[in-house]
Structure 1
Amino acid sequence: MSYLPYVITVVAPPSLLNQKVLDLIEPYYSLQDAQWLSQQEAIDIELPTTDLNDAKSIFKKMQTALRSQKVDIFLTPMLSRKKKLLIADMDSTIVQSETLDDLAAEVGIGEQIAAITKRAMNGELIFADALNERIALLKNVSADLLEKTWQHTKLNDGAQTLVATMRKHHAYTALISGGFTFFTQKVADKCGFHENHANQLSIQDNKLDGTVILPILGKEAKLFHLNRLTQTLNLTKNESMTIGDGANDLPMLTHAGLGIGYYPKPIVAEQLSNIIQYTSLRSALFIQGYKESEFVDELG
């Protein structure tokens, strides 16, 4: 058990953490124990307890009080609060969409492949089988469409700020995806991740040949990279943070010191207490106690 207090962080979309929200949570915190991380956006409430069960009880009561408000609420211990390792999923986490679905849309089978993706991310299909099935449907598609797809790919709000701010404060960052290296390399370069890992498309004569180069990177591989990096960097589990949305992210989310669901699928949401569902990736900084004044939008 930690001998430091627990802290609840409440985050709203910018300028929406107003007096109405504060009035709803006032029965559960003392103003003298609250600290603004960003005015009218994020506030820290230090709990007067070192007991996890007590902290969870207060957290649940506050969640219930705020249920009608579009705000995110997080519970973390003060111990090792600022993480030294960030591992992030890519599709629907760092970027807004599923890049494989977007590629399929370029050739007119987006809905067909998106339906398989949805089932896989909900944990209804074995990830490797679902990946092979989708890539087989893209056999003979021109590899030139990868670049065209990338041109339409957008980062989620706060992605670059999250990576740049953690790097500024000496955290190591990795992008680990069940998607493809063509996209992870570009996203990693744009955001500033130290390293990236994903699956590799097999391409022959500038066309996708309908297969994935083995081995397939799935949920076990994501957990492997979490364990590898904590060991390589000589970190404890508590010093790591992972963020993702789908079923293949669950092992790394549940084994990290802090696992955050980002607009997660139901199977993920039911297993995590810290979920971003109304705000941006900036919340992954607030949850660590960073003030907005400490944020940087890009690496210097």
Structure 2
Amino acid sequence: MPSTFTAVSYGQTLSPSVLENIRTVLSEHGYTVASERAESHPGFEVAVLELGSLDPSGASDAQAAARLARLRKALVETGTENVSTAVVPDSLRNAKRKFIIMDVDSTLIQQEVIELLAAHAGTETEVAKVTEAAMRGDLDFAESLHHRVATLGGLPVSVLAEVGEKIKLSEGAERLVAQAKAAGHVVCAVSGGFSQILAPLAERLGLDFALANDLEIVNGHLTGKVSGAVVDRAAKAVQLREWSALSGIPVKATMAIGDGANDLDMMAAAALGVAFNAKPAVRAVADAQINIPNLDVALALANI
């Protein structure tokens, strides 16, 4: 399947030497460049190289996939400082309607909500350590969530509003959502965090779908438990498939963005899995990386 190679420069124009290095890597792996153009976005520059020979005659799907994997690995290994690269399938870039699904904590927003809540309970240090381990993939997410939420038991429900007021969107998040939706695409969020925080944020941004865990509340206080099934990595992948189907958008036109191990399944299920300032284990398997604060780099990747 033909694809587009994008080189994203962090806040500066890509130099001729960087572009030449990229062309060399492509050529060494048997790819030709059919066309090339530059794009300017707020805070970053992009070079888009249309590949002309992604699927050589006679290559099987498995051979083409293996070849693409080798190319991606070579691009990472020969990467230039402050430049991120990605090979984006045309099934996403050229789709009339695209589907974008994002993690929330440390992706759509800058903070980890459970740590903000834990600060009110005096357990922020403990919770932060567990969160970090869970995002690295060292702990089972559901188990770690129950452990962390238990430390919140007894907090008054009023802390939810206080924490909600402290939420800061990631740079470029509003532009990403607004521009994608204005162009007719579907944007949603799925979180291992909490619906009491995500719901008002989703309404404010106009997200098409949103799902997170429900904190149990009894007599105006958090019980230290969550209600219902935990939104874990498997659940996130399920929502990608369900919501994209409901939207009438094929999986081949989907993009998933996340930063932690809990996002790996949905990133693998999407046509393009994007690691956003992610943990090393997530960056290692992602189709694309965004290693600057600008979440709206995703617009360039998806050709929006």
The alignment's TM-score, normalised by the length of structure 2, stands at 0.86
Match of 2:298 in 1: 284
Tell me the residue number matched to 2:247. Answer: 233
- Find the partner of 2:219 among 205, 213, 219: 205
2:47 aligned with 1:43: yes
Map 1:15-34; keep pairs closer than 5 Å.
15-19=12-16, 21-25=18-22, 27=24, 33-34=35-36
Tell me how far apart the structure 1 counterparts of residues 261 and 172 of structure 2 sit (CA, whole Å): 23
Per-residue CA shift, 1:173-219, capped at 9, x if unaligned? 21111100111112212322112111111112221111111122212
Is it true that 1:79 corresponds to 2:112 in the alignment? no
2:275 corresponds in structure 1 to: 261
Deviations 1:15-58 (A, max 9, x none): 35345533543545789821112176111011221324555555
Cα distance change, pair 235–97 in 1 and its aligned pair in 2 (3 A): same
Give me the whole-angstrom Cα distance separating, in 1, the residues matched to 2:279 and 2:75. Answer: 23
Shift of 1:7: 1.5
Structure 1 47/147 Cα, relative in aligned 2: closer, same or farther at 3 Å? same
1:177–1:199 Cα contact (<8 Å) kept: yes
Cα distance in structure 2, aligned partners of 1:254 and 1:88? 13
- The alignment status of 1:195 with 2:199, answered yes or no, reads no
The Cα of 1:133 is off from its aligned counterpart by: 0.8
Alpha-carbon offset, residue 233 of structure 1: 2.4
Distance of 1:78 and 1:66 partners within structure 2: 23
Q: Which residue of 1 aligns with 2:192?
A: 178
What's the CA shift string for 1:244-297, capped at 9, x where partnerless? 11111111110111111111222222222311113511211111223xxxxxxx
* Structure-2 separation of matches of 1:55 and 1:46: 14
Structure 2 counterpart SS, 1:41: strand
* Mapped partners of 2:281, 2:173: distance in 1: 24
Looking at secondary structure, tell me which structure has more helix per residue. 2
2:63 is the alignment partner of 1:66: no
Q: How many residues are treated as equivalent by the alignment?
A: 286
| Aligned match of 2:237 | 223
Give CA deviations for 1:63-96 in whole Å, capped at 9, x if unaligned: 44433x1121111122331452111110011001
1:176 and 1:198 in contact (8 A); partners too: yes
5+ residue gaps, structure 2, are 27-31, 56-63
Number of the residue aligned with 1:14: 11
Structure-2 change in CA distance of 1:132 and 1:64 (3 Å): closer
Deviates more, 1:29-38 or 1:90-99: 29-38
What is the alpha-carbon distance in structure 1 between the residues aligned to residue 239 and residue 68 of structure 2? Answer: 31
Change beyond 3 A, Cα 1:279–1:17? farther
Evaluate the alpha carbon distance shift between residue 219 and residue 61 of structure 1 in structure 2; reply closer, same or farther with a 3 A threshold: closer
Shift of 1:238: 0.4
Segments of 5+ residues of structure 1 without an aligned counterpart are 291-300
Return the match for 2:128 from 89, 111, 114: 114
**Secondary structure at the counterpart of residue 192 of structure 2:** strand
Q: In the alignment, is the contact (CA less than 8 A) between 1:239 and 1:257 conserved in 2?
A: yes
Structure 2 counterpart of 1:296: none
Question: Could you tell me how far apart the structure 2 residues matched to 1:63 and 1:250 are?
Answer: 19
Equivalent pair of 1:106/1:149 in contact (CA under 8 Å): no
Alignment of 1:152 with 2:166, yes or no, is: yes
- What does residue 128 of structure 1 align with? 142
Question: Normalising to structure 1: TM-score of the pair?
Answer: 0.87
Distance 1:62 1:272, change over 3 A: closer
1:79 aligned counterpart, secondary structure: helix
Q: Spell out, residue by residue over 1:124-168, the C-alpha distance to the aligned partner (whole angstroms, 9 max, x if none).
A: 111111111111111111221111112221110111111111111
Please say which of residues 241-250 and 181-190 is displaced more in the overlay: 181-190
2:264 maps to: 250
